[in-house]
Amino acid sequence: MYLYQLWVRLWHFVNAILILILIFTGVIMQFTSAESQLLIVLFPGSVRLHDIVAIMLTISYMTFVTGNIISGNGKYYKVTGKDLFPNSGRQLKYYLWGMFRKERKPFPVTMDNKFNPLEKVTYVLIMYIALPLLIFSGIVKLIPDMAILNVFGTGIYMVIDVLHIVLGFLISLFLIIHIYTCTISPKPGSHFRSIISGYQESEEQ
């Protein structure tokens, strides 16, 4: 079944590349010290690249939100009370226990449900809460003389800086888990082929 529209697939690849570049340059900026001569050499270029790619990520995110509204893809991100509990719990139990016992997936992929409940909740937290906050905190760091600093004082800049780092770490962790869960399939590589072709392969053995 055709689940991944062309614009979603293109956005997915572009977004992944931008996030990886931001993680790489962010790590260099975070861990550069007087003792790390190589990182000192890379630091100026990393700062410039980080800023440029961050702007590109902001545009990419705006494209994602607009595309979801226009194309109807946003329906897959609607979370209900049952998605939070008990369905997310059932899916987590499957990941931790059931799949190793070859149990059937509690929430197979359908045209109406592209994501299982746990994926849906996680994607909403990342794409509609964490990423916007990351972008906002990045903008404040990029333009430190914003009005918000005049209202709350310079102390808020430290809070936003810590928030930016924590969110960056959480999104990095999400990326690792996301790649891992994409490997979970009776047919090796089927999820990766799906995001390339747009068609979700049957998950039956």
Q: Across all residues in the chain, what is the average pLDDT?
A: 91
205 pLDDT tier (thresholds 50, 70, 90): very low
* Structural domains for the chain: 6-197 (1.20.950.20)
User: Comparing C-alpha atoms, which of 116, 124, 132 is closest to residue 83?
Assistant: 116
pLDDT at site 4: 95
88 pLDDT tier (thresholds 50, 70, 90): very high
Helix, strand, coil % over all residues of the chain, rounded to 5: 75, 0, 25
Q: Report H helices in 32-154.
A: 37-71, 81-82, 88-96, 117-125, 131-142, 147-152
Q: Give percent above pLDDT 90 in the chain.
A: 75
Distances (CA, A) of 99 to 92, 94, 111, 154: 10, 6, 22, 50
pLDDT at site 153: 67
User: Comparing C-alpha atoms, which of 203, 176, 141, 128 is closest to residue 20?
Assistant: 176
| Distance, CA of 20 to CA of 166 (rounded, Å) | 16
Q: Which residues have C-beta within 8 Å of that of residue 146, sequence separation ≥ 6?
A: 139, 140
pLDDT tens sequence across 108-149: 999 999 999 999 999 999 999 999 999 999 998 887 666 566
pLDDT tens sequence across 162-179: 999 999 999 999 999 999
202 pLDDT tier (thresholds 50, 70, 90): confident
- pTM equals 0.90
